[in-house]
Structure 1
Amino acid sequence: MRAAAIRGTGAVAATAALAVAASACSAPGTGGSGGASAGDSAVVGIAYEPETLSPLLGYGKDGNSKIFDGLLTHDADMKLQPALAAELPKKSADGLTYTFELRTGVKFSDGKPFSAKDVVHTYETILDEKTNNPYKTELDALKSVEAKGADEVVFKLKYPYAPFAERTVQAIAPAHIASKQDVNTGDLTTEPVGTGPYTLVKWSKGEKLTFKANPRYWGGEPKVKNFTMAIIKDDDVRATRLRSGDLDGAILPPNLAKTFAGDKARKTYEATSFDYRVVTLPTGNKVAGDTAVRRALDVAVDRKAMVDAILDGAGKEAYGPVPTDSEWFTKGTERAHDLKQAGEILDEAGWRKGSDGIREKNGVRATFPLWYLSGDKLRQDHALAYASDAKKAGIEIKVQAGTWEVIQPRMDRDAVLAGGGAPADPDFDQYAMLHSKFAGGDDFNNMGFYENPAVDRALEKARETDDHADRKAAYDTVQRELVKNPGYTFLTHIDHVYVVNDHFGTLTTQVEPHDHGFATGPWWNVEDWQPKK
């Protein structure tokens, strides 16, 4: 499970207290009732910020970065559409070659022309072993990328990787700048130059990112000229600042969004998402790593109660990374809430209840810590509900809050209330989360150190064929194996909820990943907004 999946789009691991204090005392907008900005400006509150603004290090890998473009992009229905490419790619019959004709006349925000060499430089640099890009395994199928003149790019693959076109929403960096810098420390990481609808004015880390419309944007200069993303990690603080008029919009937990129901000056938007909340059960923990405990927790948890009480119905029960309404979901892998079955599983495995109701086996008490990110009310509520359900089965879970600096070193032995989810393709989320080769190699991939040879084989087969039926069968295998040995307890899939000033009229949302509003939400297409006059 990668860092972006857990923390938001490359979120920094700054302390929640400092982030909240900085954002609360340094307002990005002018304030006032009814909205932070007026006319051609917008200020929105989000939960996380990027670690870098360089596409070579992971920024914009899933598209929609505002500063950069990919060859392709997603429309409102999540269908691939041309962006820097003039049209969708031509794919060879064997699935090993993708040819892109590029859009002509495109310029970077510094006035330099975009060409095929920028595409080649971007992909080759990402794959370079010296580049500290944590997502380079997402391009594992790529064998080579070659420019054919200025306006054509040819990608050759090692195997027919079915979702490769989805990978080409990757943001493209300017070769004329990037080639002259250290990829890991150069100015591009904080002073980006792209082809997107906005340029960065200032990044006040831990506080806000301020953008202005790019007059050279190939799609036409946006009507919203000034756009600010205020970094406010604490959900309650974000809601308070929205209510005070300091923000034009914000992502909020469903229960906080509900408090704006009677506000006629604002609209609430719900976006269906693949975003899940999950408890990691690290193999290195004697209790959480026990298969019987994992299976018992999987049926002890009351997922429906979490959807109803924590999400106010804005979501659905989760039994794995794939939502139950997805074509990739395996029917029959739903797990009913059944405390009796949980007890039977534990009894059979030798976990016996003590005088205080907590189980024990071979001198090991059935207890372990569960961490959640400070300031994240949804994670806190999920963690507390999970611990309550577990205790009814005789398992004691000690819920604790912390920053990522505190949590990360403990993830090999302590459980974490994490998140993830990617709608573009099942490979995007499951491969890094479940394949054993990531166990212990990257703390934010395969956080539970999960190892299952049957899952490894299925994941490999699914990504190395473009036959839909074969892929579906492989992901069915993965989901059935997760029933036998969960490794993680999936809890809910969350519909993202946003509240936005009505000044911008009726907006739209997409089916969303686990992104916390940075590149998604109603501002996924802020460049197309038409402010009311």
Structure 2
Amino acid sequence: MNRKTLVLPAVIGLLAPVLVACGGSDSGGDGGDAIVVGTTDRFIASGKVPAPFDPAYAYDAGSWNVLRQTVQTLMAMPRSGSGEPVPEAAESCIFSDSGSERYACTLRKDLKFADGRAITAADVKYSIDRVLKIKSDSASYGLLSSIDTIETQGDREVIFHLKSPDATFPYKLATPTAGIVNPDDYAKHSLRNGFEVNGSGPYTMKSEVENNAVVKTVFTKNPNYQGQLKPKNDKVELRSFADADAMGKALEKGDIDMMTRTMSPEQIEKYSTNPPKNVNLVEMPGMEIRYLGFNTTAPSVKSKAVRQAMAQIVDRGEIAASVYGATAEPLFSLVPAGITGHQNSFFNKYGDPDKTAAAATLNRANITTPVKLTLHYTTDHYGPATKKEFEVLRKQLNASGLFDVAIKGDAWDTYRDAQLKGKYDVYGLGWFPDFPDADNFLAPFLDKDNFLNAPYANSTIRGQLLPAERREADRLTASKSLQQIQNIVADDVPVLPLWQGKQYVASRDDITGVEWALSSSSILQLWELGRGVSG
């Protein structure tokens, strides 16, 4: 597939509902039975994943979406998921200097935790200091690593002094990692194991657990909540399913009202062309990306030439078309199309898939072929199509004659722990942005204390380019540094971007607000859902 010209719509902030059955028009409202939402996200507590819902540990889309319903942050993303953050627990926040190094927030008056205890500036300081002190192995604390010190003035003023300029800091304060927790419930130096969550968000929650795994979580409207959200329901139940097929059957039977991540490509095709009675499908723009990561110290992929050869062989167009259909687009950078600063660095360097060029790359580096590799993937975290995706990758690489590839899948609770410990030479992961800025598609993979716990370190990226782009409040001005980073990544290939996805939600037609259920940043907004009138 010739991808020399990539033209994608400007997705940020746009919503494209695809209603395939007659939907309700009522605006919904409070009261009535709980709205039941299905998910294939699995929440398991174990020695490897001890605290799935602790803001100091949680760092995956599923756990964050639980926390966003229950734990308040100073700032929050707008309803669309794009644009600049808005005050949430804060009444106002502002850079109070010209260099983006001092960020001051004033809390809302009479802010309370759900149990009625008053929230003070000291609680905010405690919560964020706690994340930085615990430094959990999920590496989520890296989001807040630009903080030098936190100062409080009275009960309502919090001032963040940063180590260096960071124009993206307000976005970081909108992530669950910066969630405000009650010191009575969360120890200063240790994680809160298990599934209990106490906060000041729009809902309180209670989880039903079997065999150390959450079966369902009930969110109940928090009467003490003060913030900019306006919940349109009193209660929502989030129910976990083993797979997309089971979740789809529950929706069609009416056992659940809506299903969210992760639907299978086959379900999306079915609901688009031949929907079940009383079921709607909504398509939304998304910023999800998928990629291969490399342990660049592992003998099999230590040579940059091996990683470059893989980049020259992989056919992203075939992966997108044969596995995901219309739900995915080939991706030629860690920064997805639609984000300011994006450029197709991998295509610019490698062009269309080229086995001859890959062979020459390996030959110049004196690499003996075929190169033996195992590609690892998670069986239960990103949906049922992941295995097929890796089968296509294996076929492409082996067909070149330059590689001898095997694939292996593991459950997420085992997989993520093994990946962080460097047990996989090559592994597949997805990324749902912490916030919609190019920095957040680069720094979590390339900076110190990165999300991958990756050994790859580039001094130009860390010492010059990331600090330079963070100094620029105008993100267009930051693009020069951001694009230089993308070019270095395309040359060194510490990660190999594969595709960018859309988002889909299916619901019964008496559920309102579905078009806002997922923002473009993949934030699950359960407060937007109501129960209306079935068509």
TM bucket normalised to smaller: 0.7 to 0.9
Residues 1:68 and 2:71 are matched in the alignment: yes
Structure 2 counterpart of 1:165: 170
Residues 1:125 and 2:125 are matched in the alignment: no
Structure 2 counterpart of 1:528: 528
| Structure 1 residue 322 displacement after superposition | 0.6
Match of 2:92 among 78, 87, 93: 87
Letter in 1 for 2:37: V
Letter in 2 for 1:246: D
Structure 2 counterpart of 1:217: 225
Match of 2:318 among 305, 325, 341: 305
| Structure 1 residue 116 displacement after superposition | 1.6
| Structure 1 residue 146 displacement after superposition | 1.9
Residues 1:466 and 2:472 are matched in the alignment: yes
Listed as ranges, the gaps of 5+ residues in structure 1 are: 1-37, 353-359
The Cα RMSD (Å) is 3.0
Structure 1 counterpart of 2:113: 108
Q: Distance in 1 between matches of 2:338 and 2:181?
A: 40
Structure 2 counterpart of 1:55: 55
Residue 92 of structure 1 aligns to a residue in which SS? coil
Q: 1:287 to 1:176 in 2, by over 3 A?
A: closer
Residues 1:415 and 2:421 are matched in the alignment: no
Structure 2 counterpart of 1:402: 410
Residues 1:429 and 2:435 are matched in the alignment: no
Q: Is the 8 A contact 1:57 1:184 kept in 2?
A: no
What TM-score, normalized to structure 2?
0.79
| Structure 1 residue 478 displacement after superposition | 1.3
Q: 1:446 to 1:191 in 2, by over 3 A?
A: closer
Q: Write out per-residue CA displacement over residues 158-179 of structure 1, whole angstroms, 9 at most, x where no aligned residue.
A: 2111101111114543445146
Structure 1 counterpart of 2:490: 483
| Structure 1 residue 110 displacement after superposition | 0.6
Q: Is the 8 A contact 1:249 1:500 kept in 2?
A: yes
Q: Distance in 1 between matches of 2:125 and 2:276?
A: 50
What TM-score, normalized to structure 1?
0.79
Q: 1:430 to 1:446 in 2, by over 3 A?
A: farther
Query: Identity over aligned residues, as a percent?
Result: 18
Residue 363 of structure 2 aligns to a residue in which SS? coil
Q: Write out per-residue CA displacement over residues 426-484 of structure 1, whole angstroms, 9 at most, x where no aligned residue.
A: 3333223123x45xxx7x5244x334333333453246523546632221111111222
Q: Is the 8 A contact 2:307 2:493 kept in 1?
A: yes
Match of 2:251 among 242, 263, 273: 242
Question: What is the number of residues matched between the two proteins?
Answer: 471
Q: Distance in 1 between matches of 2:343 and 2:277?
A: 42
Mapping 1:36-47, distance limit 5 Å:
39-47=32-40
Residue 312 of structure 2 aligns to a residue in which SS? helix
Q: Distance in 1 between matches of 2:338 and 2:191?
A: 43
Structure 1 counterpart of 2:157: 152
Mapping 1:341-360, distance limit 5 Å:
341-350=354-363
Residue 278 of structure 1 aligns to a residue in which SS? strand
Q: Is the 8 A contact 1:40 1:224 kept in 2?
A: no
Q: Is the 8 A contact 1:96 1:160 kept in 2?
A: yes
Q: Write out per-residue CA displacement over residues 15-62 of structure 1, whole angstroms, 9 at most, x where no aligned residue.
A: xxxxxxxxxxxxxxxxxxxxxxx9441111223245433334447879
Q: Distance in 2 between matches of 1:351 and 1:384?
A: 29
Residue 101 of structure 1 aligns to a residue in which SS? strand
| Structure 1 residue 253 displacement after superposition | 2.7
Q: Distance in 1 between matches of 2:249 and 2:99?
A: 55
Letter in 1 for 2:307: R
Letter in 1 for 2:244: D
